[in-house]
A and B are shown apart, each in its own frame.
Chain A
Amino acid sequence: MTRPEPKQVKAMTEIAGVPQNAEVAARIANSIGPAFDGFAPVSGTLPMDLEPASYLLVQRAKVSK
């Protein structure tokens, strides 16, 4: 996973229905880029049999010390 470029961001905002100009797109790319970098080691590595509700199973399980 790589951080989106300003041109890609601009296209994504149009697809999302809230189109932004090139300047705003560049600012978004700059702002959100580090989150993409930080999450890159995880992205694309998760097993198929895992869905968001698995969080609740872990959170509400009795975890002994």
Chain B
Amino acid sequence: MSGEPALMSLVSVAKAIAAKKFSSREVTQSCLDRIAQWQPRVNAFMAIEAEQALAAADAADVALAKGNNLGPLHGVPLAHKDMYYDAGKVVTCGSKIRRDFVPTTTSTALQRLKDAGTVRLGSLQMVEFAYGPTGHNPHYGAVRNPWNVDHITGGSSSGSGSAVAARLTFAALGSDTGGSIRMPAHFCGVTGFKTTVGLISRAGAMPLSQSLDTVGPLAQTVEDCALLVGLMAGADPEDPTTSSQPVPNYMAATTGSLKGLKIGVPTAFYVDDLDSEVARVLDETIATLKSEGAEIVKVELPDQRQLTAACQIVLATEAAAFHKRWMIERPQDYGAQVLMRLQNGLAIPGVTYLEALRWRGPALAAYLAAVTGTDAVIAPVAPIPAATIAESDVGNSLDAEAVIQRITKFTRPINYLGLPSLSIPTGFTKAGLPVGMQLIGRAFDEAGLVRIGAAFQRATDYHQQVPKAA
């Protein structure tokens, strides 16, 4: 087999290693070569562990030669957002405060991928404590967008989006509390899967908001994401909030067509105040879904502004509670913007916070009633393509929160409702920046989103586009 292995999809490279068309060492070296080429430009990695990765790859090759295939990701090198605890490894959480933090446990999601045979490449950059949507980081530098390094990646899974887009890793774990998987997927032109709250264990994943945090992957394709979610999902005694329901076969959903499916298009909010190029891509995406056999219907959703407000109240309060000790003892060690946002939570009365939590059930019921009869809803991930790093570097200025809220206005309602949302690459601006759309599903109907997303990717090649190194 010829070509650069690092450019393959996760599913393809896993099959190639299993079939001994490539060794794990060849694949790992290919990723390391690209990392050496791209890291100085994009700053996607927090730590690069080349020697350890090659040694692990060699061990995987030896095991395979002996007929010992560990699992569906045997010998596949991956790197993840630096907030997944990996026993004995430094996990910075993108922060100065945890610069030297070494956990003694491994997160369940990460362990399940290890059990499937993955090789660790290192760890990926992120926004400090996962609390920001742009990709800036005052401690470790902004992560840059491989499509144009003057532009943001989106956050908080900034390194995950950048590294997958530049083909430095076949996939990466992100986390999504207010849009932190979908935003980098949209801005960097990769596929990102925000899963239903309760589908994947959060044990050993740095917490930001216990009500809103979700674990999910970023990868080249929907099929890649389906494989990863299937491996990670399911009950975990370490996280009693996970569902005990059997995990569906998400890979089986990748072959379904769109015939007979109804996809809703919101009549308001998600189609208001869009950048003209995002609006164009939305129209083109809807046209493609229709041409592939889906029925497109209008849906009138409940007031989404109330959902975004409720999400902000819950997130701010819970984040402040997690960080209160450090806000007292080490406020000087936070970046200005993250500290400002944490301080916001101090001003929310307990009654208001609990009202926001109590309303979640009725709000979800109202949403589900509004989308009755549809299989998914399509909406932009953000109203704009990636801004420049300079123009979005708002720090803790007076308008900082307003800028953040505008970027995340289409993602936060979904976090509040706890629904799954699949972000897929759907086009480019005239300047060559990616634009993604999100498919929003019912709780625990990830398979339905996989079916739609995979069908869209069979009909298009946006997900196969690779940014060029300068």
Contact = CB atoms under 8 A, between A and B. Distances in A.
Interface string B315-352: 01000100010011000000000001101101111001
Contacts of A13: 343, 346-347
B309 interface: yes
B361 A18 contact: no
Contact of B347 (A9, A50, A63): A9
Nearest to A44: B355
Given A46-B358, A52-B358, A65-B375, A58 B368 contact: yes
Contacts of B374: 65
Contacts of B360: 52, 54-55
Given A38-B308, A46-B358, A58-B361, A29 B347 contact: yes
Contacts of A1: 352
Interface centre among A9, A32, A35, A46 (most CB of B within 10 A): A35
B174 to A, nearest CB: 22
A59 B443 CA distance: 6
Given A32-B316, A42-B310, A54-B358, A63 B349 contact: no
A12 B346 contact: yes
Contact of A32 (B308, B348, B354, B418): B348
B372 interface: yes
Interface residues of B, number: 52
If over half of B's interface residues share one DSSP class (helix, strand or loop), that class is named, otherwise mixed; here it is: helix
Contact of A31 (B310, B328, B375, B400): B400
Contacts of B343: 13, 18, 20, 24, 27-28
B320 to A, nearest CB: 8
A58 B243 CA distance: 14
Given A9-B347, A20-B346, A35-B313, A43 B398 contact: no
A55 B198 CA distance: 12
B21 interface: no
A38 B305 contact: yes
Nearest to A14: B346
A51 B357 CA distance: 8
A59 B373 CA distance: 17
Nearest to B365: A58
Q: Is the interface of A mostly helix, strand, loop or mixed?
A: helix
B178 to A, nearest CB: 12
Contacts of A42: 306, 310, 355, 359
Nearest to A53: B361
Of B347, B364, B372, B405, chain A has the most CB atoms within 10 Å of the CB of: B347
B402 interface: yes
Interface residues of A, number: 40
Interface in A8-41: 8-9, 12-13, 16-18, 20, 24, 27-32, 34-39, 41
Contacts of B341: 31
Contacts of A24: 343
B442 interface: yes
Contacts of B368: 58, 63
A1 B355 CA distance: 12
Given A28-B343, A59-B197, A60-B443, A50 B361 contact: yes
Contacts of B221: none
B356 interface: yes
A27 B394 CA distance: 14
A2 to B, nearest CB: 11
Nearest to A32: B344
B365 A31 contact: no
A17 B332 CA distance: 17
B137 interface: no
A59 B309 CA distance: 20
A52 B314 CA distance: 12
Contacts of B358: 46, 50-52, 54
B105 interface: no
A36 B355 CA distance: 12
Contacts of A60: 198, 243, 443-444
A17 B324 contact: yes
B373 A65 contact: yes
9 closest A-B pairs by beta carbon, nearest first, are A38-B309, A54-B361, A31-B401, A52-B357, A55-B360, A35-B312, A39-B309, A55-B361, A9-B347
Interface of B: 196-198, 243, 303, 305-306, 308-310, 312-313, 316, 320, 324, 327-328, 340-341, 343-344, 346-349, 352, 354-362, 364-365, 368, 372-375, 396, 398, 400-402, 405, 418, 442-444
20 contacts: A13-B343, A18-B327, A18-B328, A27-B343, A28-B344, A28-B346, A28-B347, A31-B341, A36-B309, A37-B309, A41-B306, A42-B355, A42-B359, A46-B358, A52-B360, A52-B361, A54-B362, A55-B357, A58-B368, A59-B418
